[in-house]
Amino acid sequence: MSEDLFAEMTETLFEDKSILSEEYRPDVIVERDDEIDAYRSALKDVLFGRNPANVFIYGKTGVGKTAVTEHMMSALQTEVERRDAAEELHVHFRNCNDDSVYRTVRSLINSIRGDEGETFPETGLSTSHALETLYEEMEELGGTFLFILDEIDHLSDPDTLLYELPRARANGHLDAARVGVIGISNNYTFRSSLSPKVKDTLMEKELAFSPYDADELQSILTARAEKALVDGASEDSAIRLAAAKAAKDTGSARQAIDLLREGGDVAEEQGATAITDDHIEVAAARVQRGRVQDKLRDQTMHGQLILESLARIEASGDVPARSKEIQAVYERVARNWGHDPLTTLKSIQNHLADLTMLGFLERTEQNEGRAGGVHYRYELALDPEIILETRESIENQP
C-alpha cells in the first residue's frame, strides 16, 4: 500500500513553487522605485572612492527592506567593477537577532576571512580585541566595506558598535580601508534609543519602507504568479483578494505571497484547475493560524502560560478578567504542566502589559470610584482554541 501513496499524483498548479518562498529574491524589484532611488543616492559616494554613508532602513516585516538591500548591493558591486575611481567593495551581511557585539564582530571577521581562514574564537577574548582584529583584517584587504546589520535593534549593545565603526578611520584604526554601516530594523523608534554621541557620530541617511497597499501587492503577486504558476492556474479575482487581505492586515508582501501559495495548495487538495476566491479564504484561515502559532512560540514560557490561562478563562465565559483572577488560573495551569509559577502579582501584571503591547491581549480600564479605584481587565485578542492547541503541542513535544 505504501508504494502506491504517490502514484496518482500528477502535474500541479505550480510551475516553480520556490518563487513563492521566503528565500526567493526576484531579479526585478516591483513597487519600490522611490525607495530604490533614495537608496541609490545614499550609496553614491562608494562609486567615487569616498567614505560611504551610513544608512538606516526602517519598516515592518515583509515590506522589502532586505530584498531591496540585497538588490542594491548586487547592482552597486557591478557598477564598482566598471569604475576606476571606485575602490574594491566588500559587502558582509549579519543578522543581529539576540546577538552581542562580540558575536557580531566575530561573525564579520570570519566572513572576511572566508571558509579557508582561521575561525575567530567564540569566547575568551574581549570585544575591543575583536574590533582590533576586525580592523586588521579590513586593512589587509583595503577598499570599501559595507556591513549590513539586519535586525540591528535586537543587538545587545548597539551603541558600542555604532560608535566604533563609523569613527574607525578618524581614530586611526583604518587607513587603507573605508567602512559604512547599513542598519535594518522593524523598530521606527530605534534611533531615539541611541546615545547622543552615537547619533552625532552616525550622520546616517534614513529610509522608511511603508506597508504596501492593495494595488502594490496585486502588482507584486501578479509578477510572482506569472513565474510560479502554470498558465490559467489562478483567477484574477483570487490574486486581488489575496492582495486586499494582506493590505488590510499588515501590508506585507510576504503575507500576500503566503496566501497565494497556500491558496494553490488548497486548490490542489480539492482537485481544482485554478485558484479561486474560495481557496484564498481557506488559505487565509490557515495562514492566520500559522502566524499566531509562530508568535506564541516566540514568547517566554510564563508569557505563554498567562495566554493559556486567559484562553481557559475565556472558555468559561469569565472575561474580561482582572490580573488577580488571571494569576489564580495561571498558578494552576503552570503547576499542571510541571512549571514553577511566578510568585508576585506585579510580575503577572508586567507580563500582561507586555502581551497587550504585542497585540495578544485587549485591555480595558474600569473605574469603580473611591471604593474600588481604577483597575484593568484583560481578554484575548486571538482565537483561544489556537492558543490551547499550540500550548499542548509545545508541552508534549519530545
Average pLDDT over residues 154-172: 92
C-beta of residue 261 within 8 angstroms of C-beta of residue 23: no
**In this model, does residue 5 exceed pLDDT 80?**
no
Average pLDDT over residues 45-63: 93
201 is an annotated ligand-binding site residue: no
**In this model, does residue 3 exceed pLDDT 70?**
no
C-beta of residue 57 within 8 angstroms of C-beta of residue 67: no
**In this model, does residue 17 exceed pLDDT 80?**
yes
> In this predicted structure, what is the pLDDT of residue 319?
83
Average pLDDT over residues 22-31: 89
Average pLDDT over residues 164-183: 95
Burial (Cβ within 10 Å: 0-12, 13-18, ≥19) of residue 3: exposed
62 is an annotated ligand-binding site residue: no
> In this predicted structure, what is the pLDDT of residue 282?
95
What rounded mean pLDDT belongs to the chain?
91
φ, ψ of residue 183 in degrees (nearest 5):
-100, 135
65 is an annotated ligand-binding site residue: yes
* Continuous H helices in 252-300: 253-269, 277-297
In a 13 Å sphere around the CA of 310, the CA atoms on its Cβ side amount to 29
224 is an annotated ligand-binding site residue: yes
**In this model, does residue 201 exceed pLDDT 70?**
yes
**In this model, does residue 212 exceed pLDDT 70?**
yes
As a whole number of angstroms, the distance between CA 170 and CA 332 comes to 59
**In this model, does residue 164 exceed pLDDT 60?**
yes
**In this model, does residue 171 exceed pLDDT 90?**
yes
Average pLDDT over residues 144-152: 96
C-beta of residue 310 within 8 angstroms of C-beta of residue 378: yes
As a whole number of angstroms, the distance between CA 335 and CA 351 comes to 18
Q: Which strand (E) or helix (H) includes residue 272?
A: none
**Nearby residues of 157 by Cβ (< 8 Å), 6 or more positions away:** 100, 101
Q: Which domains occur in the chain, in start order?
A: 2-19+212-296 (1.10.8.60), 32-209 (3.40.50.300), 299-396 (1.10.10.10)
**In this model, does residue 277 exceed pLDDT 60?**
yes
Q: Model's pTM, two decimal places? A: 0.75
**In this model, does residue 8 exceed pLDDT 70?**
no
**In this model, does residue 382 exceed pLDDT 60?**
yes
Q: How confident is the model at residue 383 (pLDDT cuts 50, 70, 90)?
A: confident
**In this model, does residue 292 exceed pLDDT 50?**
yes
Least confident of 103-112, 172-181, 185-194, 345-354: 185-194
> In this predicted structure, what is the pLDDT of residue 124?
87
More confident residue, 293 or 142: 142
Q: What is the pLDDT of residues 86-96, one digit of tens each?
A: 999 999 999 99
**In this model, does residue 1 exceed pLDDT 50?**
no
As a whole number of angstroms, the distance between CA 352 and CA 378 comes to 8
> In this predicted structure, what is the pLDDT of residue 163?
94
DSSP string, 63-114: SSHHHHHHHHHHHHHHHHHH-SSSPPEEEEEEE-TT--HHHHHHHHHHHHH-
Distance in angstroms between the alpha carbons of the first and the last residue of the chain? 29
**In this model, does residue 318 exceed pLDDT 80?**
yes
Average pLDDT over residues 386-392: 90
DSSP state at residue 193: G
Q: What is the pLDDT of residues 239-249, one digit of tens each?
A: 999 999 999 98
**In this model, does residue 2 exceed pLDDT 60?**
no
The set of cell numbers assigned to 13 is: 498548479
> In this predicted structure, what is the pLDDT of residue 14?
94
**In this model, does residue 75 exceed pLDDT 70?**
yes
* CA angle at 194 for the pair 193 and 197, rounded to the nearest 5°: 150
183 is an annotated ligand-binding site residue: no
